[in-house]
Amino acid sequence: MTLDTGDDELIISMERFADDLKSVDCSEQMTMAFKSNEAYQDAIDDWEWVNFNEKRTFILIANYPGCGRNRSRQPWVVSNVQYDVPNFIVHLNATKKNWTDIAHLYSLDFGIYQPLPSPNNPRALIEATKSFSVDLYHALPSTIFSSSFGQFSFGIECNECGTSGSLEISGHVESNLFGLSQFKVSVIPHGIQAHLALRMIASGELPVGGWEKDFDILSVGIPGFSIPNILEVGPNLQIDGGFSLSTLEGAVSITSGITATIPDSSLAEVDFASKKKLDIHGWKPTFSTTPFQFNAKVDADFEFFVQLSVAVSLTCLGGSLVLISYVLH
């Protein structure tokens, strides 16, 4: 994340000198105690600038223990600094702010996005190169559906069923004086599969008119990525199913299997600041199946479907959006 400010405001990241601090008190009368005189004198040289003009301030990004939630980076606006030289202590007249109060001109990249290198950029607040990947491995319950309709009972079981693979998510967010100028998010699949080894069990006589039913198989939140108060990425995996029975009489057990695979060449891109907001190609699964097997002669007419969807919700500096991609049907 890179934040731009005016001529009368600097940005200081506590993360860059946290190892030189003995203690920090995050309050309206913020204090920092340094371990050595050398580090303390460096702070005086860098921060004395703020005292020469009442218009001058600097934004201090604090992530020291006790200054906010775990892994959070809390901004403070500092307007004056005083020094306790014998004890290596700095007293700061600081006001706690929200990111939406200070982040007017900024750029934010996350995931596998690789911006042009900017060595020694003092305005880069958060830097990381780790890609953000969402693991879609999840086992499905052994009993998907079980119910009865009058004297007729019907059930669907699944043996060693589940999903596998991962999604790689990246994005670029940028603002200007008029608001968001760029907001790009891309999702790339890696080895995404859904395997179903189904066994359908029925007994009795289906009443006239048949039976149709839609139901939820699985809904689970997947661990995402978070920089508190700045960026939240929260994926969710949803698997739905349904069946339609027109005629079926007697007692029968039917087994079949299917594996659906999404090509790794698929891509979903959303650009919320562009006229062409959505670009999705691929995401059409290939299927491999095993033949139906019946354990009895039966007169039946039925359909069964399973649909997998992945929803990725994003919150960036208070603004939220959702990118939904239905990948298997």
DSSP secondary structure of 48-73: GGGGG-TT-EEEEEE-STTSSSTT--
Confidence of residue 205 (pLDDT cuts 50, 70, 90): confident
Q: What is the dihedral of CA 204, 207, 213, 217, to 10 degrees?
A: -10
For residue 290, what are the β-bridge partners? 257
Is the confidence at residue 2, as pLDDT, over 50? yes
pTM as predicted: 0.64
Candidate from 64-73, 133-142, 145-154, 246-255 with smallest mean pLDDT: 64-73
Distance of CA 292 to the CA centre of its chain: 39
Q: What is the DSSP string of 287-312?
A: EEEEEEEESS--EEEEEEEEEEEEEE
CA distances from 75 to 87, 229, 272, 289 (A): 26, 10, 27, 55
Question: What is the pLDDT averaged over residues 4-25?
Answer: 83
Q: What does the pLDDT read at residue 125? A: 44
pLDDT band (50, 70, 90) for residue 186: confident
SS3 44: helix
Task: For 156-174, write each residue's pLDDT tens digit.
Answer: 888 888 888 888 888 888 8
Please give the structure tokens belonging to residue 53.
Answer: 């003009």
Residue 264 clears pLDDT 70, i.e. is over it:
yes
Q: Could you tell me the sign of the dihedral formed by the alpha carbons of 83, 62, 20, 16, in that order?
A: negative
* 297: pLDDT strictly greater than 50: yes
Model confidence over 92-148: pLDDT tens digits? 888 888 887 777 777 878 775 444 444 444 444 444 445 577 788 888 888 888 888
Q: Tell me the per-residue pLDDT of 320-329, one tens digit each, with 9 for 90 and over.
A: 656 555 555 5
* Nearest CA among 292, 289, 287, 290 for reference residue 255: 292
Residues in the chain: 329
Pairwise CA distance, residues 67 & 78, whole Å: 15
